[in-house]
Structure 1
Amino acid sequence: MILITIVREGESIDKALKKCKKKFDKTRVLKEFRDKQQYVKPSEGRRNEILKAKYREKMRSKNDE
């Protein structure tokens, strides 16, 4: 996979690195790599998703109050 970041003339290196990092995050390559490092049983994966959803709902209701 190749990430191409176009840097305009006069643009700082910091800004170009920020663009490159943002593109890399959007591709989600690192997330997939981390997910594949350890096997998670399907039932355990579903359980984790349900727990995350419950947590998000709890936070939303807490913020709405």
Structure 2
Amino acid sequence: MLIIPIKDGENIDKALKRYKRKFDKTGTVRQLRSRQAFHKPSIVKRAQVQKAAYIQRLKDSLES
């Protein structure tokens, strides 16, 4: 459970924004969406390799 302490005189919008940011960082929604359907481990691993290769290509293109 997320606890967001609200300071005296703090605007509720700022507190809500901090809550949303903290909620996004925990990855709860992403985890729930990923659990909705089963993905074979080989497909998950292939996607990770493709993502790593893409990121490496981006880094290589920035260096040269």
Name the TM-score class by shorter chain.
0.7 to 0.9
Q: Are 2:28 and 1:29 equivalent residues in the alignment?
A: yes
Shift of 1:25: 1.5
- 1:7 is matched with 6
- 2:15 is matched with 16
The C-alpha deviation readout for 1:3-55, integer Å capped at 9, x for no partner, is 11111112112211111012111221111101101111111111000000000
Normalised to the residue count of structure 2, the TM-score between the two structures is 0.88
Alignment RMSD (CA, Å): 1.1
Query: Distance in 1 between the 2:32 and 2:21 partners?
Result: 17
Q: Tell me how many residue pairs correspond in the alignment.
A: 64
In structure 2, runs of 5+ residues without a counterpart are none
Normalised to the residue count of structure 1, the TM-score between the two structures is 0.87
